[in-house]
Structure 1
Amino acid sequence: MTGLLLIFRPIPKFDYDFEQFFPHDDPDLSFYRGVYEKNFGSDNDYLLLAFSNREGELLDSAFLSHLATVKTEIQSLSGIDTLISIFDLEIPVVNAFGLQTFPVLDWSSKQNLQNSESKLRQFKGSLIAQDGSSFLFLIQNDSQLSKKEGDQLYEEILGIFDKQEIEPYAVAGKIQTQRDFVSLMQEEFVMFIGASLGLMLLVLFWVFRKPWGILIPILVLVIGILWAFGLILLVGKPLDIMSVMQPTIFLIVGLSALIHYFTHLIKKLDTGLCKDQAIQDTFRELTFAVALTVFTTSIGFISLYFTSIPALKGFGLWTGIGILILFLAILGITPGLLHAFPIGQSNHKLTSKSDRLFVFLLQKIIQRRKMIALSFLAISTLGLCLTSQIKINGYLLDNLPLDHPIQQDFAYFDQQYGGSNPIELYLEKGKDGKSLLDLSVLKEIEKVEGKLIELFGEGEYISPLSLVKTLNQAQNQGNPKAFSLPSQGQYLRMNRYFDQALSLDGPKVLSADRMTGRITGRSPDLGSLQMGKLRAELINFCNQEINPNLLKVKWTGTAHLIDRGHESVTRQMAKGLGVAFLIVGLIGGALFKSWRLSLVLLIPNLIPLIWMSGLMWLLGIEFKLTTAILFTVAFGIAVDDTIHFISKLKLELAKGKNLHYAIKRTFIDTGKAIVLTSVILVSGFGLLIFSQFGVTHFTGLLISFSLIFALLADLFLLPVLLFPLKKVWDQKIKDPVHPR
């Protein structure tokens, strides 16, 4: 299998599409793609370019000519639908010759340039920066461009900048963000593979200090990861922003399983067993428990498939499958390599020092079991109280650090051009309106735009009303003060120019039959929490103040859908955790034939989740899609230690030992393994803290803490919960069953 993968190497493909974070069961998504996008195109396929004159005044004739050349070259590229700038903009004027247009910016002479200055004031904050420091190119690219075609288009635009020796002051948009995200993903993917392998070498040397104890795990894990990623790539799944974490997850989960096997093998060898018998006994005794823990870890990820977010579904499913494939590699390759390598007894006997430490610790736990139970209850209650204070909030560029150049460029557009976040409202005429260009309907649209300005500040909103305002300005010789809703008489005079005005270049705001349209604009990215409140206020205003018989208004657009995804985190988290709880509960019930023991299996693993959410409040981390999913993942990983503990306890009881002595032996033997694997897991996930991606950073931070909390729960709380169950154990363990 490995040879075939090396010969017929699948080619890794990296991709980033934030639309994969849309909730696909949301009716708003169906409306956007089925109605809105078909009529008005995608609102996400744009590129904002801001240009300033770094060597002088913005209205310098030489600079304007240079920038106009850049604009023409960009406009000629394949894949560019429209390019709107102050250089193309023309003001219509109605005169004796009919409707004519005149350029807003004319630098053909010094006098014409001076005359243009007064016209330009109208466009500050839309096509000219608020402080007058730059011009905006608003580019709409073809919505059907693939990732590869988008990269090629952006490279061609960069080539024009190099050729013309000009550099934009700020850039923001899908093809640029997508390209930079993928580039950063590739860097981090390689970095975390290298860092994880380095950590693995250090851990193996620290634990085993034997060539076979280092070489065999490395070989097995490298082959297992090769199999896992080989399958992922062969089915055609591209590597995305979530895939950055997968190498680290695979390595540390696999390493944790191998350390359980190897430490048990060393104990067997130290008792004087021959190598062949020690290997056989190790895999016979541990494979059931290790397989169970690997399965529950896998389920923790696979349960994400039951959410409605495609990015989470794909990540959860293929990470879970990859973990199972990795375990098959461990089970299929490790025994053979152990037989092939010359291994013998350990040079260092396991001392009783650690045993005495764990015996002492268990005695203290027994003596203070009531205080321990009350302490866990008190901290968990506090955690639940803090959890209730956490806000659900997410931003478009959550995954990037605040000092990243992309963040800075988006912030510039927020400050100078009204924002980079699309605002899209779908308009439909009511039963009493003839079309959206009826004067009575236009008055309703004016109310909506007025409310938008009140909520989001001054900004340019383009709609059917803009068309009519422009015609009113045209009837008043291009006077900017006449850019307003016309009187009844003025409106009747401009009716004949509607068809001609609609044929002018610009964003499409009206359907061919004039029955539907849109209001489009931009706002800063205020976060899903604040945007949700503002949207609700606008919709409430429309319900109360807008006549539905004249105009119907619906909020839509990709920014709205992203926010809807963040708002659904509680539902998404409940789906994932519900599936994980159910499966782990069924495993416990089937394994131990007792609902009480299933409950004991769940309680120590609920506590880390409660404490983790309380920690989120203390650290100021908000709920969003990329943090809510961590609860399911953390549960799937944390439950492993509990399963190891209870499986070992069952083995001890099956040997005829009484409950207290069985707990003691389990606590000593499994306690050391649990501490060791927890250290490895925390160290491995701790690597992810150094990622520049928010989702990867928070995964490392929060799961590391949840594993520490899980270790505390398994060492201190689990024995306290088990002691009162002596009668249950006596009844259930009558027919000893050795796991195979």
Structure 2
Amino acid sequence: MEAIYRFVEDIFAGLAQIIYRHSLSALLLVAFATIALVTQLPKLTLDTSNEGFFHADSPELLNYMAFKEEFGREDMIIVATETENVFEPVFLRRLRSLHEAMEAQVPYLNEVTSLLNARNTRGEGDELIVEDLFESWPETDDAMEALRQRAISNPLYRNLLLSADGRVTALVVRPSPFAVPDYEGDIMAGFEDMPVGDSAAPAEFLNDRQTAEFVAATLEVVQQFQSEDFRLRVGGMPVMTEVVKQLMRQDMARFLLAAIVGITLLLYLMFRRISGVVLPLLSVLLTLLCTLGLMGLTGVAFKVPTQILPSFLIAVGVGSSVHILSQFYWRFDAGDERIEALTGALRQSGAPVLGAALTTAVGMMSFSSASLAPLAEMGIFAGAGILISLLYTLILIPALLALVPIRRKAPKGSTGTRMDRFLAGCADFAIRHRRTNMLAAAVITLLAVLGLTRLQFEHDPLQWFPDDHTLRTDIESLNESLKGVMTMELVIDTGEENGLYSPPLLQTIDSLAGDVLAIEHRGMSSDKVLSITDVIKEINLALNADQPEHYIIPDNRELVAQELFLFENTGTDDLEDFVDSQFRKARYTVKLPWMGSTIIYGYGNALLDTITNALPENVTTQITGISLLFASVSVKSLDSIRQSYLLAAVVISILMVAFIGDLKLGLAAMIPNLSPILISLGVLGWSGIPLNVFTMFVGSIALGLAVDDTLHFLHAFKRAHMECGSTEAAIRQSFQSTGRALVVTTVALSLGFFLFAFATMQSVMLFGLLTGFTIVLALVADFIVMPAILVWMIPDRSPVAPDGILEESP
């Protein structure tokens, strides 16, 4: 085994000499590869949509896209306001001005619906009339009161456009499902040359940028009308998505700047020289730019979970650089020539740096097969970024060390620094109290494992915001006054053209409303459903002089078909929202309050079971919608956690054994790496804080980073043990040779994550605190538990004659 160690070290020593002799060529090669990737940065996009959480071939996404193409987008922005009397003329004029401003100023708009243009279906003799509720403005108080009574009594308006108590009214602002190009000039010119039929180009769905413009314009109109006596509350998934995106941009810029400043100060305090600051920062910044450029090159958008990627890569990249630089500066200051110092640095630190990079990359790439797209992409590009950082550490930094001016510093005195004395004290404590330390670690880890049994997962972006954030308070208010801002969609397929003319089927669908409204799951229930049966009952009522007993589905198939035909001939296109063109499929909408994804998912299962069991066997039902995509995140995330954590633990254990060259020691060395993760997750379990799409990365990130420290420590121990033969002496020497670098890299890594504590979104803040805490715990475990394992497993031996002098490093 000693021969293998020497062989590996010789490889890295040879690499150092090649780079030193061909430093300019190495820099040119690095520059060419860097430019190739950095030039792809303009192609990088930002996607915070719920659709962005799913792979392109995901069944959930394909079903939703098919639904959008058939029925349009169901996500909406609700703009609501409260007043003593909604039907007071002055208030209604302000509402009309707001409505008209929305229609005039908001791009990519499908429609704005409010009490002013709410569908009002009535009959005059045999004629069916469909018009706006305020088709003509009431001139008298009696006329206004008649309209008020009509609105309050209409079940279609309740808790959609008008609250049950009549004090809150809302505008429902819906985006267009498709991006419609703007035409200039004569729109009829060339009309005969336009493609038709199958040759026509398919319409494109509204993209993320266009949706952002739609939301921004809507919010701008809201701001124009916002006042103390006209308080507007805004909610809905499009607004949530856009606000999250804006906060991501703000936080990313702030975190990057803070991380760079903090790590700059840390590097200067450690090395006290400009090159010790500039070289690591140059390496990590180029790593970050190349990784983002690689995302742009491959067409992968920056998404919600990947906002942690920049700070992660900066922290990891600095850690690798510190190990190489600390070895180089120590040798250079001791009198070695540059080539000797560089050769010695890569000889001692090259192998553990390589092993650390591979284990960290594996820890992240364990998410590459995740069923959620951003988790898989985070794993892939974090892993790729780590490997890019490895190349910069092993090629760029040595090439620059061969060229840049570096001033020698006088060696430190023989008494050592405070850091040396601290590390010596840590070694002494770890060896003297090894049994007590192991027992304490075992008890704490056992308690943490018990906490894991209480750990849950929840995806609820509303809870990411501070309690007093405007969006959060608005949505919570809309949950209360209008019973929610979300919908769950079902598509009922009869399997035959005109199948929806069947009175028995329509009556079954209509009777489902009572069963659906009775569903309750962990506090979630609905108080409103919408379907084609509401339209048919509305028509039948209007054609029968508004007699309440006729608010039913007719028993005659021909009468149903005739009534729907009359409705279409009024000029309204509202049927398109409820049925397909062949009257084969019906849309069934369930309005819901905003709640966490696991609750919504459970409710969706209960809803689908209720409807499927009630309908005939030849009728199929499919559940879809933004809310289902939102809810599916939790289930798929749990699957990803189980799979990725297990894969990371197994593969990293194999790598640990391979790098150490000892099966028993390699497996035992995983104890101080796994226990910090178990403790951190156990703390979440005991505190009742659920995992989310950010904190689920803690385990894989921390495992990869914790193994880094262990590999460096064990590599130093193996070298020292081969030289001196004494296990305890080798442990003490390992603390002195690698301890300083381990402390500095731990501070750098944890600092990079602790900065997230200043994030606006609480989920990101929790992720940063938890990951930083886990990284610190991993160093404590390496300093306290690892020595006990070594004393227990590695006996003293006769020293082996070295090929060269075993140097004491900083």
TM-score by length of 1: 0.89
How big is the shift at 1:704?
1.0
Q: Determine the C-alpha separation between the residues in 2 that align with 1:6 and 1:392.
A: 37
Maintained 8 Å contact 1:224/1:330? no
How big is the shift at 1:132?
3.1
Task: For 1:36-75, list aligned pairs within 5 A.
Answer: 36-44=67-75, 46-51=76-81, 57-72=85-100, 74-75=102-103
| DSSP 3-state at the match of 1:461 | strand
1:372–1:475: structure 2 CA closer, same or farther, 3 Å change rule? same
Maintained 8 Å contact 1:264/1:282? yes
How big is the shift at 1:495?
4.8
* Residue of structure 1 equivalent to 2:25: none
Maintained 8 Å contact 1:580/1:632? yes
2:604 maps to which of 535, 549, 565: 535
1:706 maps to which of 764, 767, 774: 774
| DSSP 3-state at the match of 2:493 | strand
Confirm whether residue 296 of structure 1 aligns to residue 326 of structure 2. Answer: no
Q: Determine the C-alpha separation between the residues in 2 that align with 1:682 and 1:566.
A: 28
Maintained 8 Å contact 1:23/1:564? no
Task: For 1:404-423, list aligned pairs within 5 A.
Answer: 404-423=469-488
1:593–1:426: structure 2 CA closer, same or farther, 3 Å change rule? same
Confirm whether residue 526 of structure 1 aligns to residue 595 of structure 2. Answer: yes
* Residue of structure 1 equivalent to 2:307: 244
Q: Determine the C-alpha separation between the residues in 1 that align with 2:412 and 2:804.
A: 33
1:720 maps to which of 776, 785, 788: 788
* Residue of structure 2 equivalent to 1:21: 53
Q: Determine the C-alpha separation between the residues in 2 that align with 1:458 and 1:176.
A: 22
1:463 maps to which of 524, 531, 547: 531
Maintained 8 Å contact 2:660/2:715? no
How big is the shift at 1:444?
2.4
Report the more deviating stretch, 362-371 or 204-213.
362-371
How big is the shift at 1:212?
3.5
Which AA in structure 1 matches 2:552?
L
* Residue of structure 1 equivalent to 2:15: none
How big is the shift at 1:552?
4.2
* Residue of structure 1 equivalent to 2:127: 98
Q: Determine the C-alpha separation between the residues in 2 that align with 1:278 and 1:623.
A: 46
Which AA in structure 1 matches 2:158?
K
Maintained 8 Å contact 2:50/2:626? no
1:502–1:648: structure 2 CA closer, same or farther, 3 Å change rule? farther
Corresponding residue pairs, total: 729
1:499 maps to which of 549, 562, 565: 565
Confirm whether residue 126 of structure 1 aligns to residue 191 of structure 2. Answer: no
Task: For 1:286-365, list aligned pairs within 5 A.
Answer: 286-339=349-402, 340-346=404-410, 348-349=412-413, 351-352=415-416, 354-355=419-420, 357-365=422-430
Which AA in structure 2 matches 1:48?
I
How big is the shift at 1:521?
3.0
How big is the shift at 1:685?
0.8
How big is the shift at 1:195?
0.5
Confirm whether residue 679 of structure 1 aligns to residue 710 of structure 2. Answer: no
| DSSP 3-state at the match of 2:676 | helix
Identity among equivalent pairs (%): 21
1:485 maps to which of 531, 545, 552: 552
1:32 maps to which of 36, 58, 64: 64
Q: Determine the C-alpha separation between the residues in 2 that align with 1:14 and 1:176.
A: 15
Q: Determine the C-alpha separation between the residues in 1 that align with 2:729 and 2:85.
A: 85
2:492 maps to which of 424, 427, 432: 427
* Residue of structure 2 equivalent to 1:117: 148
Q: Which runs of 4+ in 1 moved over 6 A?
A: 162-168, 733-739
Which AA in structure 1 matches 2:78?
L
How big is the shift at 1:642?
1.0
1:452–1:738: structure 2 CA closer, same or farther, 3 Å change rule? farther
Task: For 1:176-195, list aligned pairs within 5 A.
Answer: 176-195=239-258
How big is the shift at 1:131?
4.2
* Residue of structure 2 equivalent to 1:558: 626
1:97–1:357: structure 2 CA closer, same or farther, 3 Å change rule? closer
Maintained 8 Å contact 1:420/1:522? yes
Report the more deviating stretch, 470-479 or 347-356.
347-356
1:207–1:508: structure 2 CA closer, same or farther, 3 Å change rule? same
* Residue of structure 2 equivalent to 1:517: 586
Confirm whether residue 88 of structure 1 aligns to residue 149 of structure 2. Answer: no
Confirm whether residue 584 of structure 1 aligns to residue 618 of structure 2. Answer: no
Q: Determine the C-alpha separation between the residues in 2 that align with 1:502 and 1:655.
A: 91
1:720–1:159: structure 2 CA closer, same or farther, 3 Å change rule? closer
* Residue of structure 1 equivalent to 2:466: 401
Q: Determine the C-alpha separation between the residues in 2 that align with 1:605 and 1:469.
A: 65
Which AA in structure 2 matches 1:524?
P
2:175 maps to which of 141, 149, 167: 141
1:737–1:303: structure 2 CA closer, same or farther, 3 Å change rule? farther
Maintained 8 Å contact 1:14/1:238? yes
Which AA in structure 2 matches 1:58?
V
1:38–1:120: structure 2 CA closer, same or farther, 3 Å change rule? same
Maintained 8 Å contact 1:358/1:668? yes
1:589–1:162: structure 2 CA closer, same or farther, 3 Å change rule? closer
How well do the aligned residues superpose, as a CA RMSD in angstroms?
A: 3.5
Which AA in structure 1 matches 2:46?
F
Maintained 8 Å contact 1:654/1:737? no
Report the more deviating stretch, 571-580 or 679-688.
571-580
How big is the shift at 1:543?
5.7
Task: For 1:169-248, list aligned pairs within 5 A.
Answer: 169-248=232-311
How big is the shift at 1:581?
2.4
* Residue of structure 2 equivalent to 1:107: 137
How big is the shift at 1:52?
5.3
Q: Determine the C-alpha separation between the residues in 1 that align with 2:37 and 2:663.
A: 48
1:200–1:583: structure 2 CA closer, same or farther, 3 Å change rule? same
User: Residues 561-609 of structure 1: CA distance to partner in whole angstroms, max 9, x if unpaired?
Assistant: 2212202333101222233223322322333343323312322211112
Confirm whether residue 625 of structure 1 aligns to residue 654 of structure 2. Answer: no
1:330–1:102: structure 2 CA closer, same or farther, 3 Å change rule? closer
How big is the shift at 1:344?
0.7
Maintained 8 Å contact 2:77/2:173? yes
Which AA in structure 1 matches 2:209?
K
How big is the shift at 1:686?
0.2
Maintained 8 Å contact 2:466/2:762? yes
1:326–1:235: structure 2 CA closer, same or farther, 3 Å change rule? same
Which AA in structure 2 matches 1:392?
F
Maintained 8 Å contact 1:299/1:636? yes
User: Residues 178-232 of structure 1: CA distance to partner in whole angstroms, max 9, x if unpaired?
Assistant: 4333332222222112101110122123222333433443444444434444444
| DSSP 3-state at the match of 1:306 | coil
| DSSP 3-state at the match of 1:304 | coil
Maintained 8 Å contact 1:373/1:717? yes
Q: Determine the C-alpha separation between the residues in 2 that align with 1:730 and 1:657.
A: 5
Q: Determine the C-alpha separation between the residues in 2 that align with 1:288 and 1:6.
A: 27
Maintained 8 Å contact 2:529/2:588? yes
1:714–1:161: structure 2 CA closer, same or farther, 3 Å change rule? closer
Which AA in structure 1 matches 2:121?
P
Which AA in structure 2 matches 1:47?
I
| DSSP 3-state at the match of 2:563 | helix
Maintained 8 Å contact 2:256/2:310? yes
Q: Determine the C-alpha separation between the residues in 1 that align with 2:346 and 2:695.
A: 37
How big is the shift at 1:61?
2.9
Q: Determine the C-alpha separation between the residues in 2 that align with 1:670 and 1:474.
A: 85
Which AA in structure 2 matches 1:329?
Y
Maintained 8 Å contact 1:654/1:736? no
Which AA in structure 2 matches 1:508?
D
Confirm whether residue 635 of structure 1 aligns to residue 667 of structure 2. Answer: no
